[in-house]
Amino acid sequence: MGEIRNAELMTVGPDELVVFAASEPGVSLTTRVGDRERHTTGPHHVIHFDGLEPDTEYPLVVEGAEPAEYLPQRVRTLARPSGALLATFATTNDVHFGETVCGAIGGGHEEVGPILTAAPGDRPYPEVMSRAAIEEINRLDPDAVLVKGDLTDQGTEIEYRWFLDAYSTLGPRMRHMRGNHDAMRTTSIASGETPFAIELPGVTLAVLDTVVPGADSGQLDAGQLAWLDDLARGAANPVLVFGHHHPWEPGSEDRNDDYFGIHPDGSEGLVAVIARNESIAGYFAGHTHRNRVRHFDAARGVPIVEVSAAKDYPGAWAEYRVYEGGYTQMVRRIAAPEALDWTDRTREMFLGLYRDYALGALADRCFTWTF
C-alpha cells in the first residue's frame, strides 16, 4: 500500500461522518467506522459513512494513517435535536471571484510563502471551488442558500457578475450580502437589501451588513441593531443572525477600532441584543477564513461562529438542519477532484501553518445547539 497523506476527519453529523485523505493515483485505502468498511482508490479519498446512530461513539481506523489531532481513534456522532426536521439551509462565504493570487497578505502582498496561482490554462480557482460547491448544494436541495460576503476579490462589477453567473443557478432561494472586499471600490455591490430576513419553517435567518466601505474591519450601526432587536422580539421562531464580520468579545483586552472584525461598539451592541432576546440562537460570520466557535457569557452562551473560506483550504460550505428542538451545523469540504487538487496545495500556505489555522477543531466545524 502506498503512502496515505493528510487523513482528516472533516465532518460529523447525527447520522454520518466524512473522512478525507490523499495518496498517489491508484493507491487503495480501507477505512473502518465500527463494523462498517469502505474502500477507496487515490489520489483523492473521500470516505462517507452514513446510517450511523446519533450521539454514539464509534472507533475510526484509516489503514496506513496514524491517529492524530485531526484523525481521532474514536469519534462521537452529533446529538440529534428533538422533534421533526423542519428546514435545511446552506451557506458559503469568502468565494472571492476574480482572485488570482492565493497566500498573499497585506496591502503590499507580503510573501510569507508559498504564494499560489492556478496553472496556465486552468480555470480560475475561485470558479473551480464555487462551481463545485454549488453542485454539492444543489444535490442537498436546501430550502435556502446564503452567501456571507466577499463575493469578489477587488469589488469590481465584472467580478460581481461572475459571482452572480455562478450562484444564480441556485435560483431565488439564493440570497447574499456584501463583505469588505466587495466595498473596496464602490458601495453599489450587494448593498441595497440589507438588513433582511429569510423566513423558513421553524427558523428566521436575520442578515446584517457589517461592512465599512474601504476598510477591512466591520461595524454595526444603531439602525441595524434596532431592526434586529425588533425582529427578535416579535419572532415566532428561533432567530439565527448572519453577517460577514465576526464580533469582538466584550471585555477583551484588545479594545480598539482597528479590530479585524466588528468594532467594539458595534459588537457590544450586537451582544446586548442577543442577551435580551432569547429567540436568538446564534451568530454566523465568515471573513477570517477559519472555522471557530466562541461562546460569550454576555450573549447567553449562544454559538458565535466563523466558517472557513470556500476559495481555498479546506474549501468549505456549511449545512444547517433545523429541528423543532434545535439545529446542527456541519461544515463540509468541497469534494470534487479539481477542488481537492487546489485545496491540497493551499493547505500548505503561510509557512505550512494554514491548516491548523483554517481547519479548527472538529467542534468548531460540527455541533448541535438546542433551543
Domain count, the chain: 2
- Residue closest to 159 by CA, chosen among 307, 311, 338: 311
Same-domain pairing of 334 and 293: yes
Strand 203-207 to 74-76 pairing: unpaired
pLDDT on residue 105 = 72
Specify the residue for cell string 457590544: 268
Through-space distance between the first and last CA atoms of the chain, rounded to whole angstroms: 47
Strand 85-92 to 144-148 pairing: parallel
CATH code for the domain in which residue 133 is found: 3.60.21.10
Same-domain pairing of 100 and 215: yes
Distance of CA 49 to the CA centre of its chain: 21
Same-domain pairing of 117 and 149: yes
- C-alpha–C-alpha distance, residues 63 and 318, integer Å: 28
HSE-up of 140 (CA within 13 Å, CB side)? 25
Same-domain pairing of 168 and 292: yes
Three-state secondary structure call for residue 225 = helix
Phi/psi at 193 (nearest 5 deg)?
-105, -25
Same-domain pairing of 67 and 91: no
**Residue 299 and residue 288 in contact, taking contact as beta carbons nearer than 8 Å:** no
368 DSSP β-pair partners: 328
Residue 271: give the domain boundaries.
Answer: 85-370
**Residue 284 and residue 291 in contact, taking contact as beta carbons nearer than 8 Å:** no
The three three-digit cell numbers of residue 345, written as one number: 496545495
| 236-277 tens-digit pLDDT | 999 999 999 999 999 888 888 889 999 999 999 999 999 999
Question: 76, 99, 118 — which closes off a domain?
Answer: 76
From residue 129, how far is each of 153, 275, 284, 289, 365 by CA, in Å? 14, 37, 21, 14, 19
- C-alpha–C-alpha distance, residues 326 and 368, integer Å: 7
* CA R_g for the chain: 20
pLDDT on residue 68 = 95
Sign of CA dihedral 262, 244, 205, 237: negative
Low-confidence ranges of the chain (pLDDT < 50): 108-109
Model pTM?
0.96
Question: 55, 76, 97 — which closes off a domain?
Answer: 76
Same-domain pairing of 27 and 161: no
pLDDT on residue 192 = 81
pLDDT on residue 218 = 96
pLDDT on residue 1 = 59
Distance of CA 160 to the CA centre of its chain: 20
Same-domain pairing of 197 and 152: yes
Same-domain pairing of 50 and 96: no
pLDDT on residue 117 = 92
Same-domain pairing of 22 and 49: yes
Same-domain pairing of 65 and 96: no
CATH code for the domain in which residue 18 is found: 2.60.40.10
Same-domain pairing of 227 and 111: yes
Q: What is the largest CA-CA distance in the chain?
A: 61
Question: 43, 58, 76 — which closes off a domain?
Answer: 76
pLDDT on residue 124 = 96
